[in-house]
């Protein structure tokens, strides 16, 4: 599956005036404790020791935040085609979204005015600001949270993710060093977390040249470090398809491509797939690698296992490429 993710659907991004790309896998929204009400909201990463009344108020804001984001996504998904084609409908929805999210923003501001040193609130508000494309505001709040709670690995991870997102969106990679250092800090604080190693590996691959300069390594050594980190992430979370798929994808950073290892990695990812989309994506990748080494019959076999509509055009292009390619002796894997 593609490694570049979006925080909210593309249409919402256009409506609120930014692109909001969350290029790293699941931030701490998906990794919090489900049985702890305080963990409903992302980016907090630590249990609360605040007074009950303060904590209760913060819980209500977290719930309001999640409810608002869920509602916005639902509004957009109800009829995206009509919204794209009807400018009046699009503007009305944009206004509705702004009003809905502004209520949550005011709740955070009121709370922080009373409790400016609440690290969890700062982190959560920073995460919220990423949804409304306030990049500088989000970074300010996340850094304030990190200063208040320097041993919170989740916040360092989210700072890195936020800075990395800005780098991808803007094409300016001047702060890649900060991205890498923040991920390294999160790994240092929580070495058993697969999420932070996974994210760090993706950052190394995405910013290979800048990472090489910052870490004083060769580009190949950066790729080797990325492979090491994502391998460790999969060992920590052995049933995670996304980590397995990105591990396989990391092999593509090496030149020449290590065909045998790459095919083995994609085969393992396919075994971990839990949906037809995931399984088909792995089959497509195995077909592409086999085409590179002129194993056309094997490539066709993998393409025959792809039945998902969203990959139909890519599947056909690959089949056409096979038919147009002069028959050659298969390369050694």
Q: Both 164 and 53 in a single domain?
A: yes
Q: What is the C-alpha R_g of the chain?
A: 22
Classify residue 28 by its DSSP letter: G
pLDDT at 32 > cutoff 50: no
Whether the Cβ atoms of residue 203 and residue 212 lie closer than 8 Å to each other: no
Q: Is residue 33 part of a domain?
A: yes
Q: Is residue 157 part of a domain?
A: yes
Helix, strand, or coil (residue 5)? strand
Q: Both 150 and 53 in a single domain?
A: yes
pLDDT, one tens digit per residue, over 54-103 is: 999 999 999 999 999 999 989 988 877 777 888 888 888 888 999 999 99
Alpha-carbon dihedral sign for residues 209, 214, 216, 217: negative
Q: Which residues contact 239 (CB under 8 A, 6 or more apart)?
A: 272
pTM over 0.85: no
Q: Which of 249, 242, 278, 279 is nearest to 265 (CA)?
A: 249
CA dihedral 189, 192, 196, 202 (to 10 degrees): 130
Provide the CATH number for the domain around residue 86: 1.25.40.10
pLDDT, one tens digit per residue, over 132-190 is: 888 999 999 999 999 999 999 999 999 999 999 999 988 999 999 999 999 999 999 99
Within 10 angstroms of residue 239's Cβ, the number of other Cβ atoms is 10
First and final C-alpha spacing in the chain:
24
Q: Provide the number of structural domains found in the chain.
A: 2
Domain of residue 323: give its range: 256-333
Residue matched to tokens 């990049």: 135
> Which domain-ending residue is among 145, 173, 190?
190
Q: What is the pLDDT of residue 183?
A: 97
pLDDT, one tens digit per residue, over 287-309 is: 999 999 999 999 999 999 999 99
| Distances from the Cα of 60 to the Cα of 44, 108, 129, 286, angstroms | 15, 10, 17, 47
Phi-psi label, residue 24: left if phi above 0, alpha if psi -120 to 50, beta otherwise? beta
Average pLDDT over residues 238-245: 97
- Token reading at 297: 């019959």
- Token reading at 197: 């190693």
- Token reading at 300: 């066709």
Q: Is residue 204 part of a domain?
A: no
């Amino acid at each position: 599956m593609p490694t570049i993710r979006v925080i909210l659907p593309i249409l919402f991004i256009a409506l609120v005036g930014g692109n909001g790309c969350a290029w790293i896998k699941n931030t701490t929204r998906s990794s919090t404790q489900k049985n702890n009400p305080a963990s409903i909201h992302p980016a907090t990463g630590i249990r609360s020791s605040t007074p009950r009344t303060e904590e209760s108020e913060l819980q209500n804001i977290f719930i309001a935040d999640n409810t608002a984001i869920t509602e916005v996504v639902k509004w957009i998904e109800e009829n995206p085609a009509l919204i794209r084609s009807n400018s009046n409908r699009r503007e009305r929805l944009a206004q509705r979204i702004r009003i809905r999210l502004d209520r949550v923003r005011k709740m955070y501001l009121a709370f922080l005015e009373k409790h400016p040193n609440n690290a969890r609130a700062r982190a959560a508000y920073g995460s919220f600001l990423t949804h409304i494309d306030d990049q500088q505001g989000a970074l300010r709040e996340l850094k304030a949270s990190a200063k208040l709670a320097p041993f919170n690995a989740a916040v360092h991870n989210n700072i890195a993710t936020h800075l990395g997102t800005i780098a991808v969106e803007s094409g300016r990679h001047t702060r890649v060093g900060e991205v890498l250092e923040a991920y390294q800090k999160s790994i240092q604080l929580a070495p058993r977390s697969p999420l932070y190693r996974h994210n760090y590996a993706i950052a190394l691959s995405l910013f290979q040249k800048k990472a090489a300069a910052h870490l004083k390594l060769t580009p190949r050594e950066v790729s080797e470090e990325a492979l090491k980190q994502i391998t460790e992430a999969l060992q920590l979370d052995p049933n995670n398809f996304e980590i397995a798929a990105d591990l396989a994808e990391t092999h593509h950073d090496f030149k020449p491509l290590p065909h045998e290892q790459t095919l083995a990695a994609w085969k393992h990812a396919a075994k971990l797939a839990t949906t037809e989309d995931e399984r088909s994506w792995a089959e497509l990748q195995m077909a592409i690698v086999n085409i590179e080494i002129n194993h056309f019959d094997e490539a066709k076999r993998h393409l025959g296992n792809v039945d998902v509509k969203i990959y139909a055009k890519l599947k056909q292009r690959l089949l056409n490429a096979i038919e147009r390619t002069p028959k050659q002796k298969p390369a050694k894997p």
